[in-house]
Amino acid sequence: MTGKQFSSVWTRDPRPAKSPGRSREEIVRAAMELLDAEGLDGLSMRKLGAKLDAGATSLYWYVANKRELLELVYDEIWGEMTVPPEETKWWRQTAGAFAHSMRRVMLRHPWSAGLIGRTPALGPNALEVTSRLTRAFKGAGFRGLEIDYAASTLTAFVFGTTIPEVAYNEAMARDPLDEDSMREAVERAAAAHPDLLERMRESKPADLRESREMMFTFGLAAVLDGLEARLTA
């Protein structure tokens, strides 16, 4: 079976500005501001045109459709991620800094979680980040496909822990719940599982944000320990 032909905004040269003061960079900045304020559902070419005081049709000079616009803003997200320079010799430091940075960026721009796996990361920022991470794993001693497996294991951990956190934050922002009453309800539901109740009562966090940061750090160390064990096996 043959699917439709792949296309990307990154496979062609950007068009020059059509009018003074207007550029693709300006459109991307405005789109990100709109996304930060209203999320993916709040972005439309009409709204973006209104924000820029321009007709929606004029934006199509720069991008063919909304999907291409999302490719552009997605690459801006990658540009905010930190990967230490190649002078950093210890691969764990590079991988750890990248993972923490990716999580922070996703929490800062929650809408980005909805683009993962759906939007190709082919822009210059994404390719630069991926290239640096690849070189770090290669320098650590991974070879061949294991370089790719190590990188995908790291990013899968970040996505797997951060996307639910983003979803929870958004749900609580839309419809806040009292945490004490929520915990009481969970304890009633788990009454038949004393081991779970014990863990819940012992692990009650003083600060949810700090607790999540500690859990992320613990999980990241475990992932890096596992990768390091493969190198020494």
Whether residue 190 is predicted with pLDDT greater than 70 in this model: the reply is: yes
Q: In terms of Cα–Cα distance, which of 200, 196, 9, 44 is closest to 119?
A: 9
Q: Higher-confidence residue: 134 or 17?
A: 134
The domain at 9-74 falls in which architecture? Orthogonal Bundle (1.10)
Q: How confident is the model at residue 72 (pLDDT cuts 50, 70, 90)?
A: very high
Q: How confident is the model at residue 86 (pLDDT cuts 50, 70, 90)?
A: low
The full set of domain ranges for the chain reads 9-74, 80-232
Q: Higher-confidence residue: 200 or 122?
A: 122
Kindly give, in sequence order, each residue whose CB lies less than 8 Å from that of residue 98, ignoring residues fewer than 6 positions away.
Answer: 81, 82, 83, 129, 132, 133, 154
Q: How confident is the model at residue 19 (pLDDT cuts 50, 70, 90)?
A: low
Q: In terms of Cα–Cα distance, which of 52, 47, 66 is closest to 18?
A: 52
14 φ/ψ sector (left φ>0, alpha ψ -120 to 50, else beta): beta
Q: How confident is the model at residue 42 (pLDDT cuts 50, 70, 90)?
A: very high
Q: Name residue 148's amino acid.
A: D
Q: If you average pLDDT over residues 141-158, what whole number do you get?
A: 96
How far is residue 227's CA from residue 153's CA, in Å, rounded to a whole number? 9
Segment 198-227, tens digit of pLDDT: 887 777 666 788 889 999 999 999 999 999
Q: How confident is the model at residue 18 (pLDDT cuts 50, 70, 90)?
A: low
Enclosing H/E stretch for 200: helix 194-202
- Please check whether residue 9 is in contact with residue 71, taking contact to mean a CB–CB distance below 8 angstroms: yes
The domain at 80-232 falls in which architecture? Orthogonal Bundle (1.10)
Q: How confident is the model at residue 6 (pLDDT cuts 50, 70, 90)?
A: confident
Kindly give, in sequence order, each residue whose CB lies less than 8 Å from that of residue 122, ignoring residues fewer than 6 positions away.
Answer: 8, 10, 11, 71, 75
- Please check whether residue 83 is in contact with residue 129, taking contact to mean a CB–CB distance below 8 angstroms: yes
pTM: 0.88
